[in-house]
Chain A
Amino acid sequence: MNHSRVVQIWVGLFVAIGLASLFMLAMKVSNISALTEQDGYVIKANFENIGGLKIRSPVTMAGVVIGRVSAIGFDRNTYEAVVSMTIDPNYDNIPEDTSASIFTSGLLGEQYIGLEAGGSPDYMKEGDSFQLTQSAVVLEKLIGQFLVSKADE
């Protein structure tokens, strides 16, 4: 093996390691796996207050992530937040009277939408809205209520 061949092998190895690092950053560290599952059907829900909910927050049912929040808008007429969520097409049997609530994971964690299945035989379709929703719990409100109830005692 002559010298220039050794150099070329080393450079090949170097470039391969560099590209492998980039690949690892993309696949293992970043959210590329979440980005690929974009397809699905969209359901909307109106909330009085969404707290810290963000686009791409998870939508869960029984604790399992079945979709993600795809858009957050504001309704001019009802002064409510309109949250669109994209649900994985595998879960196309969500009953029509399912309720959606905004929960917080842990004390200071991220906020997510939790769905609780109803008993209706009809299933949700693309563009449907949840009838039963529960807003995010705002910590300051809770503390305020607690103080008021303490003062009453």
Chain B
Amino acid sequence: MISSTHGGLWRVAWTIAWRGLHTYVRRPDLLVPSLVFPLVFFASFAGGLSALGSVPGFHFPAGYTAFQFVFVLCQSAMFGGLFTGFSLAFDFESGFARRLMLAAEDRRGIALGYALVALSRAAITLALITAVALATGMRITGDGIDIFGLYGLAFMLTLIGYGWAAGVAFRFRSIQAGPLMQTPVFLLLFLAPVYVPLALLKGWIHSVASINPATAFLDAGRGLISGVQEHTALAFVCALALIVLFTIWMLSGLRSAENSA
């Protein structure tokens, strides 16, 4: 049973968060890929596809680098959450999470603790990508409030990615479920206007992207960085709804893990 001591919840959460973050920064096999991958994506998309900025009909005030930066920011934010789900699954496989469930005063603290790890991991990655993007000459034409909104949205995406992955991890309790965590998020992100705006997509991808919530996230993010806002309210409402949905999914998964223990 999930107990309800408030102090216990945070005690467990902080302890797990400290351990998770400590492990993350001390293990190069976790830290390096999580930092290098977004940079490779950024280099490949913003550098390799910069000619797309000259495609007829492509108008983005902040330039193609900023256009792609928002995609990489959203992707890194979601994958920060996702990879924390991997760590949770790994902890179950190694038996650590089961021992944790026996010891925790309030088991919701376990879910909350890993959520804090996800947010911290995302913060490190997002800071690095932003620094590299600015160093390579990315232009930001939005104001301070817009940028605050952009990073707020990114952290909400981290919670969405984490909520989904943690729900899977609590149910399957094995790293074998990795593809199940990763594939839907990967598809969600890539079936959106990644390379060019929605208006320039043609055929089936346009139809899919039009109803994909990730399109709203990218449009809002690109609107915020350029100061020409588009779908901002829709993106925040979608993100909030998905956080609520995946929190329920994650907590029901936690209950399933408790029942199986």
Whether A and B are associated in the same complex: the answer reads no
Residues of B at the A interface (CB closer than 8 Å) are: none
